[in-house]
Copies of this chain bind each other. A is one copy, B any other.
Amino acid sequence: MSDTSLRGRRYKKISEFREVEEVLAEVIPRIRVKPAVVTKRTRSAVGCILASNVYARRDLPPLPMSHVDGFAARSIDLRNASEDAPVGLLVEGSVGPGESGMKIGPGRVFRIHTGGYLPEGADTVIPQEDVFTDGSRIYVTRPYTPSENVVPAGSDVRRGQLMAGKGEALSPAKASLLETLGVYEVSVREGLRVSILSFGDELTDNPAEAERGKILNTHAVLVSEMARALCCDIVRAQIVPDRPEAVVAAIEEGIETSHLVLTIGGSSVGDIDLVGAELDRRSELFIQGLKLQPGRVGGIALIDGKPVVVLPGLIHSTVNVFNYLAAPVIAHMLETSLEQFIITVSARMAEPVELRRWLDFKRIVWVTLKRIDGGGYEANPNVADASNVSSIAHSHGFIEVPPNKPLITRGDNVAVRIPLWITRGIVGWSRSFIYSSKQDP
């Protein structure tokens, strides 16, 4: 690309940087689309965002349940049982798993297994190891109190109880519980449809072209995966060449087919800012410049009530602007909370970090965590140029350094955020960690 091709193009310099929270507060109320609510079989909705509160449809257990393998009995029959005067009871039958509707008469018991429902009239269970038997009768040598070895009806869950909240990402354990409670279907948000547009003639998805000097479009790989982990469907991931008509067409198509458009690159404050120019022209609102570093040239626009998040091209900026602008916008559109996708742990800084530039910005430092003896974590900062990919790939999470703090001291207690959409757990990258012989969880 020669200088002449750039003549007459927009030259943009960001004059004002704004707090991320302020930008979100301005943009979010103006978003006018969100994914549809659909009904799914509960077991198939794991990972989806619930669109309404879910309440138990029945008691759990639905009937009093045996806690042991033994004999369901009436405690009243056993009042006077003792070693010297054992009480003999007739085994009338057996309760199979899930069976109900049996009735028990005076002087009688039913064989029952752990988890079986007590017959009507029974209020206690005698463990099998505590009786002796002649085949048709059992002999009991002590009294049993009402509800001994019995799990009362409704002791796990009461009918009508709130089991899961609107906005919750349905976990495997909750899905299983809800079906047990008679909730066979749930209302969930469909995946958020996202288009990812990577701008630049130099980009390719083809390894052979990358070997001949083109730049592999790898930021889009990471951004796609982060969005997918936040319940997005990537409907298009496209490289857009540096031609005004291509930029216009890509943004239009993205808006038409998606709930959200993520752009990568093209937000430089250099000569080349076709994307910024088009967003300026087309959007009802366009804010660029964030008090977030790396990430200060990130921005967000609104077109037809749909957000377009401008992710800068240097990887630390790409990820930070995704985390601080795109992720909250996605969470809003799915009516969910980001916090359920983040684990925050406290850690002690292993090394000091000096951050004297962009002092009144929120500054982001990626760290590697190491568990220390006696509990807790040590955080090793991976301070690097904003273009540095390995520092993020090898990190477990990040810390947010508040404005006007120029220095983190060794030994400082910091909160490390582990956003599961990018780090997926504390993945060690040293050989020693990976090859650990410790097997149990």
A-B contact pairs, 16 of them (CB 8 A): A24-B439, A69-B269, A96-B201, A100-B213, A156-B389, A166-B434, A171-B424, A171-B427, A172-B225, A182-B207, A323-B440, A324-B440, A324-B441, A336-B434, A340-B427, A420-B420
Tell whether A35 is near chain B: CB-to-CB under 8 Å: no
Chain B: minimal CB distance from A131 (Å) = 14
A214 within 8 A of B: yes
Q: Tell me if A431 and B162 are in contact (CB < 8 A).
A: yes
19 extra interchain contacts, Cβ-Cβ under 8 A, other than A21-B439, A67-B387, A156-B388? A1-B94, A21-B440, A46-B221, A60-B390, A97-B201, A156-B384, A156-B387, A172-B225, A176-B221, A176-B389, A177-B392, A331-B439, A337-B428, A337-B435, A338-B439, A343-B343, A343-B425, A420-B424, A420-B425
Which residues of A from 406 to 429 have beta carbons under 8 Å from B? 413, 415, 417-420, 422-429
Q: Is the beta-carbon distance between A113 and B272 smaller than 8 angstroms?
A: yes
Assess A172 versus B387: contact at CB under 8 Å? Given A420-B424, A439-B328. no
A184 CA / B207 CA spacing, docked (Å): 7
Q: Give the complex CA separation of A350 and B385 in angstroms.
A: 43
Q: List chain A positions with a Cβ less than 8 A from chain B.
A: 1-3, 6, 20-21, 24, 28, 43, 46-47, 60-61, 65, 67, 69, 91, 93-94, 96-100, 111, 113-115, 128, 151, 155-157, 162-169, 171-177, 179-180, 182, 184, 200-203, 207, 210-211, 213-216, 218-219, 221-222, 224-226, 229, 268-272, 313-315, 319, 323-324, 327-328, 331-332, 336-346, 371, 375-376, 384-385, 387-393, 395, 413, 415, 417-420, 422-431, 433-436, 438-441
Q: Which residue of B lies closest to A24 (CB)?
A: B439
Shortest Cβ distance from residue A392 to the other chain B in the assembled complex, whole angstroms: 5
Bound CA–CA A428/B340 (angstroms): 7
Chain B CB count within 10 A is highest, among A172, A203, A433, for A172
Q: Specify the chain B residue showing the minimal Cβ separation from A320.
A: B441
| Residue from the set A61, A165, A428, A430 with the largest chain B CB neighbour count within 10 Å | A165
Indicate if the CB atoms of A314 and B389 lie closer than 8 Å.
Answer: no
Across the two chains, which residue of chain B brings its CB closest to A42? B221
The complex is assembled from copies of this chain, and their number is 2
By a CB distance below 8 angstroms, the chain B residues around A210 are 182, 184
Measured between alpha carbons, how far is A374 from B14 in the docked complex, in Å? Answer: 37
CB distance from A253 to the nearest CB of B (A): 23
A270 to B272, CA, bound (A): 76
> What is the distance, in angstroms, from A163's C-beta to the closest C-beta of chain B?
8
Chain B residues closer than 8 Å to A213, beta-carbon distance: 98, 100
Please determine whether B172 and A268 come into contact, CB atoms closer than 8 angstroms: no
B424 x A221 contact (CB < 8 A): no
Q: For the complex, what is the distance from the CA of A113 to the CA of B96, rounded to whole Å?
A: 75
Q: For residue A313, which residues in chain B have a CB less than 8 angstroms away from its CB?
A: 114-115
Chain B residue with Cβ nearest A227: B172
Contact between B389 and A151, CB atoms less than 8 A apart = no
Q: Known contacts being A97-B215, A389-B180, A440-B324, is A69 close to B270, with CB within 8 Å? A: yes
Assembled-state Cα–Cα distance A61/B270 (Å): 21
Q: Compute how far the CA of A441 lies from the CA of B202 in the bound complex, rounded to whole angstroms.
A: 32
B residues less than 8 Å from A180 (CB atoms): 216, 218, 389
Q: Are A426 and B375 touching (Cβ within 8 A)? A: no
Contact A390/B156 with A172-B422, A210-B182, A226-B172 known, Cβ cut-off 8 Å: yes
Choose one: B2, B229, B337, B384; the contact of A436 (CB below 8 Å).
Answer: B337
Q: Which residues of B contact A413 (CB under 8 A)?
A: 375
Min CB–CB distance A265 → chain B (angstroms): 8
**Contact between chains at A439 and B332 (CB < 8 Å):** yes
A268 to B315, CA, bound (A): 54
Cross-chain contact A441 with B175 (CB below 8 angstroms): no
**Shortest distance from the beta carbon of A178 to any chain B beta carbon, whole Å:** 8
A2 B219 Cβ-Cβ under 8 A: no
**Which of B176, B219, B336 is A176 in contact with, Cβ under 8 Å?**
B219
- Complexed CA–CA distance, A210 and B185 (Å): 14
- Given A3-B93, A222-B173, A439-B328, A429 and B207 touching (CB < 8 A)? no
